[in-house]
Structure 1
Amino acid sequence: MLPNVQRIRRGDRLLCYHRPTGIRLPDLPETHPEFVAAWARAESTKPDHAFKLAPGTIAQAVRNLRASTRWKNLTKSYQGSLRFHLERIENDHGALPVKGLREKHIVTDLAKLDPNPANASLKCWRLIFAQAKIDNAIDADPTAGIKKISTKSPGHASWSQAEIDIYRARWPAGTPQRIAFELLAWTGARVSDAAVMSRAHIGSDGLLTFRQQKTGGLAHVPWTSPLPRWAKPWEGERAAAREIISSGTGFTFLETAQGKARTVKGLSNLISAAAIEAKITGRSAHGLRKYRLSAIAEAGGSAHAIMSWGGHSSLSEAEAYTRAANRRAVVTGEEQEQNDVNAVRNDCKR
């Protein structure tokens, strides 16, 4: 249905008006081209009730940002995470001229905040100045030399293999807790992507491919395609996971009993609550992503393999997993065994 249409029933007639302007619309179905055209004309003449802002101010730059393609291309969840900080900046500094701000002013503003909100506010400042440059309000971004504050947070802990086994023993195949778990554990997807994942993501090449909501990067997960050499031992795990995940009949893999796709928060809470029920503490849905990507590194998968499976936007992110795996190999004997193998190969070549 078209927005801003006021519908008034008079006996057996339905009268339609354009609510902002009061213009009477044709007595035709709302899908009729003439009705739509009349509505479009009325929409184009409705007054702009937004209060006027002084040009060149932070408040004007924020308004322009929110109307920009840059802002609209951000995911709704990411917009929501930034909105509070954007509103704080506008409320505290909206009347200031954007052209007069320098790096020292932004540093002073961020110094009032704890590390995490300071980093989020820095992202907002950068978006504001990027928009101001597009609007030719400034020549240079004063935040260019400001670095994020290190929070030194370990983030979500990875699941251990023992915890994976305990969870599977507690939640049998067919339960929502197990289906969601297997999808997250095999794909290494974030909950925002797993919540909407469906059979439509599986290509004729046997790869489950999806574009991540957070980064926009493509992730490629072997679904029925041949596994790489280092992942061959996972064939049984993959087959079992695939059977469990595909047991549902809904459009998305993780539909609720009411036939609706699970929300991101609902899926995250489902895994956390199921882990606690299984006597596993401190483990989350995102920890299953770390589990899969760490498993790739420990199995011998390259940083490029992790980057492709996990959909990372930069190689440095994926290399963090291979570095951690190499450090473990130093103390488990795996590195020495590989060195011995290489030595034998070199002797044979002589």
Structure 2
Amino acid sequence: MGSACADVPEPFEQILEVWIDRIWINRRQTEPFIPLPARLAIFVWGVEPNVLGYVLGEDWPELEKKLASSPSAWSICLAIQPAASSLPTLILDSCGFLRSPKVRPSAHFQPTTAADRISTVLSSIFSAVTVLRPPRSARFLMERSKRSRLPDFGAPNFNEEYQTLLAGLEPTKKRLLGVGSLEWLIKRYRDSSAYLGLSDATRRQRDNIFKGVIDKAGHVSYKAVSRKKILQGREDRAATPAQARNFLDAMRGLFRWALEAEHVAIDPTAGVKNPSRPKGGDGFAAWTDDDVVAYEARWAAGTKERVWFHVLLYTGLRRGDAVTIGRQHVRDGVATLKTEKTGMEVNIPILPALADTLAIGPTGDLAFIVGDNGQPLTKETFGNYFRSACNAAGVKKSAHGVRKIGATRAANAGATVAELEALFGWTGGTMASHYTKTADRKRLAKQASEKIVNAQRPHLPKETPRTSKKI
């Protein structure tokens, strides 16, 4: 027995690789069940203590001594032990092995499967014992001393049961995937013209929200979604008001469509208000004139960082539009494009300061904003790059804050609500009014202070005291 021990790991590892690749995990048909990286292990029953675990290549002399000195029958199982200690060990389906001193080996045993080949290897290692294939019921997950039986491999519910046991979760009720579930309603909504008419950015945002909703409550009947549950979803995201607003926007879109399509009789989102903004907060921090000076001092003309900044500052575009604008959009000194968020067409004069920056570059063929390789950037990548450029200039602000200083400057210069909406692509008057009202307050305060000064009575000069003449 001892002479074979030094060569034990190699044949087992080779057979395990074949078994995993060709039998257990068919990568062309299904995702892996086994949480790799993992290692091959041997588990022995019947030797005190009751269960002993051994990793191949480790403690073989000790294992051999225990098996050789065991007066009673014992069983040995081949298993896959995940590298992560928090995960349970998987006892392989047909790789358990039984030994009893009273059982004689079959004279006609021929290795025909991976499990049989493993049996043959075990037989050659433990030459003094009999190795037989176990019954099918030997398959289970073992975590510490707890065993959980699995269905037969290949059964329809095998993967679901395995993943449930692996996660240490109690089996949950089966999802209602047919007509009537919230997941079904969301899928129908995503196929509708109402959803497909949204911008790519809005659909991506809502897809992320719907994914979380489906994971948590996709099996629930959509008719069971009440106003109270919508409010609870808002409160669950209260720590991040922007996420709460996005959640409400997504659910409003879903149930407004469902109401119109006569899937529901009542819209549970009706009357639910967006969370109020924190006091003293106004979303993204607007840049100041000092921030502009600091950034331009760090990034001179001729750098891509200067191009990034001037495109944002002098066009007032959001990130998603700023990364797409290019020479193809400019005619007679005016850039015309539809905004990603609202789909509104905006007309932006290319101001001399921006024209000078673009002439120096660097810019791309179809996009003014480019990366190191001269290729366009996604809005997410650009957002990260621009924040790094801001940090290097000592400005702890974002790209959206540049848009805000542009709107502030325009409003302070006397731009009307209609003019701001035409330039920045806003609708409804709310955002534009915010800037014009702020600018108006400043102008009115200045005018009021001037009136106070003008209304003040002028001071008369002090009379000099008369001196009496002495005669």
Tell whether the structures are fold-level matches, with TM greater than 0.5: yes
Residue 412 of structure 2: aligned partner: 298
Residue 113 of structure 1: aligned partner: 237
Residue 374 of structure 2: aligned partner: 259
Q: The residue matched to 2:347 in structure 1 has which SS?
A: strand
Residue 15 of structure 1: aligned partner: none
Structure 2 gaps of 5+ residues are 1-28, 30-174, 455-471
2: CA distance between counterparts of 1:111 and 1:158? 28
Alignment partner for residue 130 of structure 1, among 256, 263, 274?
Answer: 256
2: CA distance between counterparts of 1:164 and 1:186? 12
Q: Deviations over 1:25-82 (max 9, x none)?
A: xxxxxxxxxxxxxxxxxxxxxxxxxx98321221210111222233233333322322
Q: 8 Å contact 2:199–2:342 — kept in the other structure?
A: no
Q: CA deviation at 1:330?
A: 3.5
Residue 243 of structure 1: aligned partner: 356
Q: 8 Å contact 1:220–1:311 — kept in the other structure?
A: no
Alignment partner for residue 286 of structure 1, among 354, 377, 400?
Answer: 400
Between stretches 56-65 and 267-276, larger displacement belongs to 267-276
Residue 145 of structure 1: aligned partner: 271
2: CA distance between counterparts of 1:294 and 1:62? 40
1:11-90 maps to which residues of 2 (within 5 A)?
53-90=177-214
Q: The residue matched to 2:290 in structure 1 has which SS?
A: helix
Residue 325 of structure 2: aligned partner: 197
Residues 81 and 162 from structure 1, CA distance in 2 versus in 1: closer, same or farther, beyond 3 angstroms?
same
1: CA distance between counterparts of 2:194 and 2:352? 41
Q: The residue matched to 2:348 in structure 1 has which SS?
A: strand
2: CA distance between counterparts of 1:130 and 1:335? 50
Residue 342 of structure 2: aligned partner: 215
Report the residue type matching 1:214 in the other structure.
K
Report the residue type matching 2:206 in the other structure.
L
Residues 199 and 104 from structure 1, CA distance in 2 versus in 1: closer, same or farther, beyond 3 angstroms?
same
Report the residue type matching 1:90 in the other structure.
I
2: CA distance between counterparts of 1:327 and 1:182? 28
Question: Percent identical across equivalent pairs?
Answer: 25
2: CA distance between counterparts of 1:216 and 1:295? 25
Residues 108 and 286 from structure 1, CA distance in 2 versus in 1: closer, same or farther, beyond 3 angstroms?
closer
Structure 1 residue ranges, 4+ long, deviating more than 4 angstroms after superposition: 333-337
Q: CA deviation at 1:164?
A: 1.3
Report the residue type matching 2:255 in the other structure.
F
Alignment partner for residue 274 of structure 1, among 380, 384, 389?
Answer: 389
Q: CA deviation at 1:114?
A: 2.3
With normalisation by structure 2, the TM-score equals: 0.54
Residues 137 and 249 from structure 1, CA distance in 2 versus in 1: closer, same or farther, beyond 3 angstroms?
closer
Report the residue type matching 2:354 in the other structure.
A
Between stretches 177-186 and 327-336, larger displacement belongs to 327-336
Q: CA deviation at 1:319?
A: 1.0
Q: CA deviation at 1:271?
A: 2.6
Between stretches 328-337 and 309-318, larger displacement belongs to 328-337
Residue 29 of structure 1: aligned partner: none
Q: 8 Å contact 1:330–1:336 — kept in the other structure?
A: no
Q: CA deviation at 1:140?
A: 2.7
Residue 95 of structure 2: aligned partner: none
Q: The residue matched to 1:246 in structure 2 has which SS?
A: helix
Q: The residue matched to 1:221 in structure 2 has which SS?
A: strand
2: CA distance between counterparts of 1:106 and 1:197? 38
Q: CA deviation at 1:196?
A: 0.8
Q: CA deviation at 1:286?
A: 1.0
Whether 2:319 is the aligned partner of 1:188: answer no
1: CA distance between counterparts of 2:191 and 2:222? 18
Larger strand percent: 2
Residues 245 and 334 from structure 1, CA distance in 2 versus in 1: closer, same or farther, beyond 3 angstroms?
farther
Residue 114 of structure 2: aligned partner: none
Q: Deviations over 1:180-203 (max 9, x none)?
A: 111111001111101011112113
Q: Which has the larger radius of gyration?
A: 2
Q: 8 Å contact 1:220–1:310 — kept in the other structure?
A: no
Query: Would you say how many aligned residue pairs link Structure 1 and Structure 2?
Result: 274
Q: 8 Å contact 1:307–1:315 — kept in the other structure?
A: yes
Report the residue type matching 1:114 in the other structure.
A
Larger helix percent: 1
1: CA distance between counterparts of 2:327 and 2:375? 16
Residue 424 of structure 2: aligned partner: 310
Q: Deviations over 1:188-231 (max 9, x none)?
A: 11111010111121134x321221111212222122xxxxxxxx
Residue 159 of structure 1: aligned partner: 287
Residue 438 of structure 2: aligned partner: 324
Q: Deviations over 1:63-110 (max 9, x none)?
A: 112222332333333223222321232233323332343323322343
Q: 8 Å contact 1:168–1:178 — kept in the other structure?
A: yes
Q: CA deviation at 1:176?
A: 0.3
Q: The residue matched to 1:219 in structure 2 has which SS?
A: strand
Residues 334 and 246 from structure 1, CA distance in 2 versus in 1: closer, same or farther, beyond 3 angstroms?
farther
Q: CA deviation at 1:325?
A: 0.8
Structure 1 gaps of 5+ residues are 1-19, 21-50, 224-237, 341-350
2: CA distance between counterparts of 1:263 and 1:109? 31
